[in-house]
Amino acid sequence: MAAEERLSRCLAEVAAGDRVPYLGAGVAALCSDAPPASPQALCAAIEARVRAPRRARGNLWSVAQFVESRRFRATLDTIVQEAFSGECVPGPLHRWLARVRPPLVVDAWYDSAILAAMQAEGKPGWGLVQGVSRNGEWQEIWTRAYDAELGLVGEHPAPDWEVLIYKPHGVIRPGHSCLVSDSDYVEVLTEIDIQSPIPEEVQTRRSGRPFLFLGCRFDDQMLRGFARQIAKRSAPGHVAVIEGDLTRMEARFLDELEIERLDLPLCAVTEALSDFV
């Protein structure tokens, strides 16, 4: 089967609610006036404001930790909020997902384009659950949930939401929280193997469904760790659209999770969406 035909079938399964879309940072690059659309780009935005030591340069989580340790968390939060302060214009994939309304969308980047698309669609019955930093928290908390108006409803999403948006790394926008520094991830990574930080409703909705990874690269241990645990106990048959050469660790990761790789540019996804109009 040609890669393009396989992609179209996977998108049809997403539209039918039989496959979970998993969006990486690359999807943000399809948006006009896109915010930083990779860990490297966000890292560069932080380093443009604060000079990081050589050992940390180029690594988002380490540079963020340096800023948090030396300049305090408020400084880090200000820098990343400014990096994402532009108008959030959803891309074609975001708008399509808002129309077809799959039961679960995993968005593993910090932008809020999928939220803007869902709000623009104007239909109720959806909500957001996001990972949160424990910095400054006095309770054991992993997530916060928000309704379709992005009003806080507590720590857990509602089971009766038709669509659940899950942003495991959080959201960079006013009033929200995100995991970005090494210290943010310490307790999460300690517990994620036993699934504690992953909401039960996410675990329920992934059951029996494989994933379609779009705009994801797995060349970073942090990103691989989250994807591995979020996809745990789902159905076999994962597919990833990744163009070009893979790193050695990416190839090993795809083999480990038995992910079928479609060597296509992400713009092929946009082109394939025309079949669903």
Tens of pLDDT, residue by residue over 139-185, are 789 999 999 999 999 999 999 999 999 999 999 999 999 999 999 99
Tell me: do 68 and 178 sit in the same domain.
Answer: no
Tell me: do 25 and 52 sit in the same domain.
Answer: no
Instruction: Please give the single-letter amino acid code of residue 163.
Output: V
Tell me: do 133 and 215 sit in the same domain.
Answer: yes
Tell me: do 239 and 131 sit in the same domain.
Answer: yes
- Does the structure show a pLDDT above 90 at 136? no
Shortest CA distance to 164 belongs to which of 130, 188, 210? Answer: 130
What is the predicted pLDDT for the residue at 87?
81
| Distance set, CA 82 to CA 29, 42, 172 (Å) | 18, 11, 9
- Does the structure show a pLDDT above 90 at 187? no
- Domain of 226, CATH number, reads 3.40.50.1220
Tell me: do 142 and 263 sit in the same domain.
Answer: yes
% of the chain with per-residue pLDDT over 90:
89
Q: Residue 209 contacts by C-beta under 8 Å, 6 or more apart in sequence?
A: 17, 18, 19, 20, 104, 234, 235
Cβ-based neighbour number of residue 163 at 10 Å: 22
> How confident is the model over 75-80, as a mean pLDDT?
96
Number of domains in the chain: 2
Cβ-based neighbour number of residue 239 at 10 Å: 20
Tell me: do 131 and 19 sit in the same domain.
Answer: yes
Tell me: do 207 and 96 sit in the same domain.
Answer: yes
Tell me: do 52 and 114 sit in the same domain.
Answer: no
Could you tell me the residue range of the domain that residue 71 belongs to? Answer: 43-83
What is the predicted pLDDT for the residue at 30?
85
Tell me: do 121 and 248 sit in the same domain.
Answer: yes
Tell me: do 156 and 125 sit in the same domain.
Answer: yes
Tell me: do 78 and 94 sit in the same domain.
Answer: no
Pairing relationship of beta strands 126-131 and 152-154 according to DSSP bridges: unpaired
Tell me: do 51 and 17 sit in the same domain.
Answer: no
Pairing relationship of beta strands 20-23 and 211-214 according to DSSP bridges: parallel
